[in-house]
Structure 1
């Protein structure tokens, strides 16, 4: 049974504590918008997977009750930064498995200001002995040591150093990712930041962990996103063909042996699992990178966008720096990657990120993205990872 997205909604992503709201307020805003976009009442929803990382157990129920209290199952999902896409994958599986004809996937996060830790209580090295990402940070520490900068920036920054040493990638090429995504976000009213920067300005920004500067790193954010996923039968019986975007294929992978065997941060941050998830999606759909028009990928740091180009097959291994520098991944190029501004500029409320990517792609494939519209977009791909790890790749088609 096929699954379709017929409605999406999201809040504006904002710096924590910008608005005086609770997580259930943002969930209501995004969920109501998705239902209205689909022309569906909450009473028609049969299952609700809800993603978040930093709220208490059963926060999903507290959030969903703002939409209605109908007694339907609510599932609380936490898969690090891939939480939103995991909730969406559950929604698709419910529909394809015949468990429900109409499912609401919801993701939200109310975060604290400041850099994310790496899984320990205070971000200190000792905490990583019992952290879920202890194995990943152990690889980093063995190769590069452990410094006092934010742990996630360290491991991705060290991956960037490895890429520079191995392939000749330059700091300017890394900064070009940030420049592109900040430039894209100027036209996105949902983005946390809407300012454009030159490559030189990005290079001159405060260093978080060399070579990554602040304008190449995703911020902490508050926000929510939602998607209504339905069966083909529901689309036909409710006359939603003009709203429907097909989920052609979707895959989730976790870390493979390759993630740890090489002893590199490049592999420890997720390139192998991203590559595996993308290949599964290509195999299932019969499509390839050459068929894609628009891509929303997990640019938590500029280096991860480059690593993901390679994992998705947009270029060969080590060629991603030259790819972004060539203009192939922006308007007028071969693909438009992160027209929303990506995590770097749109923002990154962990539980909402994966569904927000789907919202952007849905608008793009419907031709509803306004001044950031990718011309003639028909096939879109979303890539969302959670360190520790999970990679979810979703292929959409209109």
Structure 2
């Protein structure tokens, strides 16, 4: 019998870091600040700190697990190995549905910056199909394109920060201003901003395609998250200082608006950077979902035909085609805020499983204290509870659909 085609280990540390950066920067800087400002005003700065702390706890758990289980699938695999099949399924299902919503959010963000009025949804669909085709052709092409995207985004962010700072920043950062939206609003902003940090897990989902994964994955996650936190903090302060919380809450393009006040030429540059950033995040998201779907299909937690690996390109081609179809349907039906809220619900549950799984690891597999895993799990649950009610309601329904699907599948197999 011939050996079925497998994924190839082609990615080094630099590739992994850039994939993490590309997955995070587009999501946060250009999409999440507006709903966060609507929830908490200036308090989004406190929410950003809370989200960063929870993300750090989750990142340490992910890194610790990925060093021991360097397989495609991330917390789906970790949950199965450490806690049991049902835990793994909940993590994998939450990741897939949450990140599919993230794909829709990134496609819509790209279109908001790049498309003419009235053409946003068709342009968003075109972006999904084009990047799905890039991923179909191989992960090394994904990594090369992601590097170029990250460079363009960093240049655009530097221009935006410089332009917004030319006339000086005016922002009341007193304690009353930071908590004026109330702690519920601050925690809701943290949950929405967490959407922006979740890209570091993309590295772990590529576990079968990274060279020396026990070293590369933990280091890449730490480096990418650290760089992203610094960039987010700088951009948040500058944008709030230029527009004020009401201005940030009122626009879908806060960075472009903040940059346009001093240098007229800066706005189109920032719009290009935002569009490219969203494409970078979308590219990494499609790759990560495809790999998790592959891992779940291998174990029959998703239809087994999704487990195929292309004999030439060594990619989970059927899974990626299926992801592109579902994301296209969402792009044609949902709005940006709803996509972000639902995505946060799914991804936070995914990391609850990651933290619990890391907590159970024995001493010889541990890199970080158990207190970080406890803090990460409790932090994720707290942020889930404060998300917008509609996002929670839809999330619960979709989670129930997944559980029902697995129960039916198990009964069919048992018969």
TM-score with structure 2 length normalisation? 0.24
The structure with the largest strand share of the pair is 1
The structure with the largest helix share of the pair is 2
Higher relative contact order at CA 8 Å, sep ≥6: structure 1 or structure 2? Answer: 2
